[in-house]
Amino acid sequence: MRLQDKVALITGGAQGIGRETTLRFAAEGAAVTIVDLNDEAGHALVAELEAAGQRAQYVRADVSQAGDCEQMVARTEEKFGKLNILFNNAGIMLPDDDDAISTSEATWDRTMNVNLKGVFFGCKYGIPALRRAGGGSIINTASFVALLGAATPQLAYTASKGGVLAMTRELAVIHARENIRVNALCPGPLRTELLMKFLDTEAKKQRRLVHIPMGRFGLATEMAQAALFLASDESSFMTGSEFVVDGGITAAYVTPE
């Protein structure tokens, strides 16, 4: 198995990309700490994994809070003895996130606190644990919109994911000689609850779909496969990268006339 005897921590781990990645990592031999704010989904996922003979725990944590992030790492080391893989995946996309004129300061701040500060806190407390384990892999969820402008305005989200890319590159350089790899996963538009709530009309969905050469939204399971590659030793010479899994949208993006 590709993650045999590894220990992973996945934020936003009970839903969407996080849930599918939790299932994939566990199937490949990893013990997983599932971090989320959805207690029902988190506990249900742990029960599902344990019923399959896999190791998991649920930790409730708000990644925008330093104390919560410190606790999620500590709980991982307490239960499983180490941390090898940190997947900073938790993120939000608020419905009133729009252009600079329309987006409220509250929406901007909340988006930055979760999507950007949450990754910072994950790394702040996770990197010392990875050092104690002799190294490991950090995966930060960014987005294709960090590489280009979005057809449907979502300025706070786009800016936050751009920050994730910049942070990923710098951390990769800082920790490269410590056997700690840091990469950013850049999903394209996905058929997940997060995006479908934002693209809440057929017109919005079609405006996004028209740019995707493959002609469909991606799946959370496809992002889990990409995260598995970044977590495993198969990507051992890969750090500071933007791992784009987007159905071709960044290769072919044009603004419609």
pLDDT digits (tens, 9 = 90+) for 88-123: 999 999 999 999 999 999 999 999 999 999 999 999
Tokens 């790899």: give the residue: 181
Confidence (pLDDT) at 256:
46
Cβ neighbors of 248 (< 8 A, separation 6 or more) are 212, 213, 214
Using an 8 Å Cβ cutoff, are 56 and 26 in contact? yes
253 is catalytic: no
Classified by CATH at the fold level, domain 7-244 comes out as Rossmann fold (3.40.50)
Burial of 79 (0-12, 13-18, 19+ CB in 10 A): middle
Cα gap 15→102, rounded to integer Å: 29
In the predicted model, what is the mean pLDDT of residues 15-20?
97
Nearest to 197 by CA among 89, 90, 95: 95
Residue pair 126/138 in contact (Cβ under 8 Å)? The answer is yes
**Residue 197: predicted pLDDT:** 79
Catalytic hit among 58, 125, 157, 253 = 157
Q: Is the pLDDT assigned to residue 255 strictly greater than 80?
A: no
Question: Could you read off the pLDDT of 114-168 as tens digits, one per residue?
Answer: 999 999 999 999 999 999 999 999 999 999 999 998 878 899 999 999 999 999 9
pTM exceeding the 0.85 threshold for the entire prediction:
yes
Note the pLDDT tens digit of each residue in 66-82: 999 999 999 999 999 99
**pLDDT-based confidence at 239, cuts 50/70/90?**
very high
Per the structure block, which two tokens stand in for 229?
């590659």
Confidence band of 257 (pLDDT split at 50, 70, 90): very low
In angstroms, rounded to a whole number, what is the distance separating the alpha carbons of residues 193 and 197? Answer: 6
**How is residue 75 written in tokens?**
């709980």
Query: What percentage of the chain exceeds 70 in pLDDT?
Result: 98
Neighbours of 165 (CB within 10 A): 18
